[in-house]
Amino acid sequence: MTIRDPHLDAGAGHWAALVGRFRQSCNLRASWQVTNTLLPYAAVWYGMYRLSSVSWWLVLPCAVLAAALLVRLFIIFHDCGHGSFFFSRRANAVVGFITGTLTFVPTRYWWSEHAKHHAAAGNLDKRGTGDIWTLTVAEYLESTPWRRFTYRLSRNPIVLFVIAPFFLFVVNYRFAARGATAAERRSVHWANLAIAGMIVGMGFMMGFSTYLLIQALVLLISGAGGVWLFYVQHQFDGVYWESGENWSYSRAALQGSSYYKLPRVLQWFSGNIGFHHIHHLNPGIPNYHLERCHHSTPSFSGIKPLTLRASLRSLSLHLWDDQRKRLVGYPAT
């Protein structure tokens, strides 16, 4: 990704001022987004329930649609965590809790961890919080055979996009990390109670085996899609990583986060998160303003979009090469 803007090094303050007017929440837009996502999601669930008694092959395409809508619900949850979705803090908390329950994610705990990701994205010295495990070439070559094996395993597409997301959402988010605050731990407990209530309620209405099978299917597909989006937004050819005083917030946002140009239908289901460079530049901009913000100034016109086809190349990039300042594949030895 190259940016032809002489003000790139002006700092985060310059860019924040440039896009600050898009940091305005709109309750009408937010309410409509909740409506046009939550109602179809409920309708598709009802359809899957009815079709399950006919043929599970008919359930499968509906599960794909439900998973796509769940990804969109997760973006709403995500925006509520940044306090950008609604004007009201209470509205963000309530809608965040509802969408967090549906996506199996605790609110305050996940929001806190995600804030750390924003503060450390692209910083080689602060890897390990809210990101994909990434080693440098030197670190990989100095690793033990076991560490190399586990690293390669963690980046295997089946593990990274199928097994890991399902484990993350179903198991890992049921517990708070050791350093979590009391409020973050409470959010995990409340989320677990809400999810347990949802499982019991839906189980009695649909039958536990039917509900659990459909829910697992939807979570598998949505988890794979969601983790792919997160992965490709920070793991692509031309991405920015730096360490120490060389690290720059604005460069990490504009060069370390992709402009993932998706087909319109996928852009809708992913809640405009493909404009990830804008989101990292100012996470207070709600998703429904991201595209308009990108097109608002010539300063962003030099950002090379990452296409769907080009993004597949990211699967062959595994290590950060400090010498060449780019992601590369595994070394021959």
Q: Does any domain span residue 3?
A: no
pTM, entire model: 0.93
Which amino acid appears at position 189 of this protein? H
Q: Does any domain span residue 242?
A: yes
96-142 pLDDT, tens digit per residue, is 999 999 999 999 999 999 999 999 999 999 987 778 999 999 999 99
Q: Is the pLDDT of residue 191 over 60?
A: yes
Q: Does any domain span residue 250?
A: yes
Average pLDDT of the residues in 157-178: 96
215-229 pLDDT, tens digit per residue, is 999 999 999 999 999
4-54 pLDDT, tens digit per residue, is 344 445 455 667 677 888 999 999 999 999 999 999 999 999 999 999 999
pLDDT recorded at residue 17? 75
* Domain ranges, residue 241: 8-328
Q: Does any domain span residue 333?
A: no
Q: How far apart are CA 228 and CA 246, in angstroms?
A: 28
Q: DSSP strand E in 8-121: where?
A: none
Q: Is 73 strand, coil or helix?
A: helix
CA torsion angle for 154, 157, 159, 162 (degrees, to 10)? 140
Q: Is the pLDDT of residue 78 over 50?
A: yes
Q: How far apart are CA 259 and CA 291, in angstroms?
A: 10
Which has more pLDDT, 12 or 65? 65
Q: How far apart are CA 114 and CA 137, in angstroms?
A: 26
Q: Does any domain span residue 2?
A: no
- Chain-wide mean pLDDT for the chain? 92
Q: Does any domain span residue 89?
A: yes
Q: Is the pLDDT of residue 3 over 50?
A: no
pLDDT recorded at residue 201? 97
294-326 pLDDT, tens digit per residue, is 998 887 877 889 999 999 999 999 999 999 999
pLDDT recorded at residue 333? 62
Q: Does any domain span residue 51?
A: yes
Q: Is 212 strand, coil or helix?
A: helix
pLDDT recorded at residue 19? 85
* Contacts (Cβ under 8 Å, ≥6 apart) of 148: 140
Beta carbons of 300 and 102 less than 8 angstroms apart? no
Closest CA to 100 of 36, 173, 49: 173
Q: Is the pLDDT of residue 90 over 60?
A: yes
Overall domain count for the chain: 1
* Contacts (Cβ under 8 Å, ≥6 apart) of 194: 97, 101
Average pLDDT of the residues in 268-281: 95
Q: How far apart are CA 197 and CA 307, in angstroms?
A: 41
